[in-house]
Amino acid sequence: MSAERGNVKILVFTCRWCGLIGADGAGRKRIELPASYRVIQVDCAGYVEPDAVIRALASGATGVAVLGCHVGGCRFNDANHPALKRLELLKTLLDTTGIGGRRLLLGFGTAHESHQYAEMIVDFHRELEGMPSMASWLPQGE
């Protein structure tokens, strides 16, 4: 992923039951989305560990989004409740370290909310514009 300022790269971890179906719906409706995001399907947003977010940022992502089912509507025994707590804590850690919690988006919705999915990605892209990727902060190998 590029380290250039303004070249926004977003990695999206999305629940296959809600977020992914919402993404597919946005595509079928031809809702315009930024071209600079990539989707990784997970069975549940609860399976996304903080180290995966940190690795994505360290690899050059400008931001990471984790999209899952509505809190309380998870198919995996409400696994998105602990995911929400864990990732909110990660946002605080990112702010504390100077990386910035704004680089992490947490979104919850249903499969039928393709407009909401598109709106979240567009708004997140807009918020990340002008931020350098994390790769530009890391020392370069000699």
pLDDT in tens, 104-133: 999 888 777 888 889 999 999 999 998 877
CA distances from 67 to 16, 47, 60, 72, 127 (A): 10, 11, 20, 14, 17
Residue with the two structure tokens 């400008």: 62
User: 58-105, pLDDT tens digit by residue?
Assistant: 999 999 999 988 777 777 777 778 888 999 999 999 999 999 999 999
What pLDDT is attached to residue 3?
A: 41
pTM: 0.86
How does DSSP assign 34-54, residue by residue? -SSEEEEEES-GGG--HHHHH
Question: Domains of the chain (ranges plus CATH)?
Answer: 10-130 (3.40.50.960)
